[in-house]
Amino acid sequence: MTSQGRMRVHCTVCDKRFTLEGSLNRHRTLRTGENSYSCTQCKKRFHSQSYLRQHMNVHSSKYKCSECGKCFQGNKDLARHKLSHSGARPFECSVCGKRFTQSADLAVHSRIHSGEKPYKCHVCDKAFSQSGPLSGHMRVHTEERPYKCSLCNKCFSQSSILVRHKHHIHSNRRPYQCPYCGMEFKTSAHLKSHVRVHTDANPYSCRHCSDRFRWLYQLKRHLLKSHNEGTWFTCDVCEKKFITRSHLKCHSFQHEGVKPYVCSECPKRFCTASDLKSHQLVHTDYKQFCVVCVVNISSINMPFKSF
């Protein structure tokens, strides 16, 4: 019997085939983002008890790397991790030549070239190249926010967003410095974005015409206005239009009088995260303006735009 003949069951959404009913059920669970089993120590959620049991090894330090102290769910994960210390990257992309320590990382990377997004949200049809982002995305529909900041009690749908929130809002560390003007940033992404001011780089290109843009929001605005691609998000009160739903939500706080962003140094409150970030500079000796281009820090981070 051929391998194709042994594939007895298949997913009705993506037509992926499996030999066992249990494998199909696990695949469906990954697709829908249903994670019913929660870790009592870090609130991370899993779609099966077996995955939760494996995860608990991280907290028990049963599988701990002797080089860096990082803990893993099992011996195989630890062995794969140790390759990162050896420098070995045996898996090479046949398209661009980029090398990886794990075959799974290569498989995920290959989807950049193929455009494959096998994990699809059953509510809004948004597709993802990995199951993890799909699980986090599902909380947009359920409005579940299991990750709570211990400093301001704000809750988040994903642990990575909580980590980013703590770093951006509650930390004053700015380890990334601009080689042109000495301006300091909290993340390498913000530094990379700022450097474009000095280099005049325009990395975002329109797929329909030859226009190029310095910021992603400029490209999105161009696609909406010039090529009618995408969707405007319109305020019900004043009819201002926004590029993203999150920008509209922040804008709506102004009409509602809601100020959810609280300064950790003083009692002042703000409608948007960008306003809070600009205010917090008052409490630090951080240089607010670039001495070369005289650009305000608030214009370097993700801009809040309406049209």
CATH topology for 175-299?
Double Stranded RNA Binding Domain (3.30.160)
pLDDT in tens, the chain (307 residues): 444 445 567 776 666 677 777 667 666 665 555 566 788 877 777 767 777 888 887 888 888 888 888 888 888 888 878 877 887 888 898 888 888 888 888 888 888 888 888 888 888 878 888 877 887 787 777 777 888 888 777 788 778 788 888 877 777 778 888 888 888 887 888 888 888 888 888 888 898 998 999 888 888 889 888 988 888 889 999 988 888 887 888 888 888 888 878 887 788 888 877 788 778 777 765 444 554 454 444 444 433 344 4
State the DSSP H helix or E strand holding residue 64, giving kind and residue range, or none if neither. Answer: strand 63-64
Strand partners, 37: 46
Instruction: Give Cα 272 distance to the centre of its chain.
Output: 19
Q: What is the pLDDT of residue 28?
A: 63
Q: What is the pLDDT of residue 7?
A: 52
Q: What is the pLDDT of residue 34?
A: 58
Q: What would the DSSP string read from start to end of 1-55?
A: --HHHH--EE-TTT--EESSHHHHHHHHHHHHT---EE-TTT--EESSHHHHHHH
Q: State whether residue 100 is helix, strand or coil.
A: strand
Distance from C-alpha of 12 to C-alpha of 120, rounded to nearest angstrom: 12
Kindly state the tokens that stand for 167: 């770093």
Q: What is the pLDDT of residue 211?
A: 92
pTM of the entire predicted model: 0.43
From the CB of residue 45, how many other CB atoms can be counted at a distance below 10 Å?
Answer: 20
- Tell me which residue of 272, 265, 280, 257 sits closest to 302, measured CA to CA: 272
Identical fold, 22-142 and 175-299: yes
- Tell me which residue of 103, 117, 125 sits closest to 16, measured CA to CA: 117
Phi, psi dihedrals of residue 166, rounded to the nearest 5°: -60, -40
Confirm if 45 and 35 have CB atoms less than 8 A apart: yes
- For domain 22-142, the CATH superfamily is Classic Zinc Finger (3.30.160.60)
The residues spanned by each domain of the chain are: 22-142, 175-299
Residue 281 DSSP label: G
Confirm if 250 and 260 have CB atoms less than 8 A apart: no
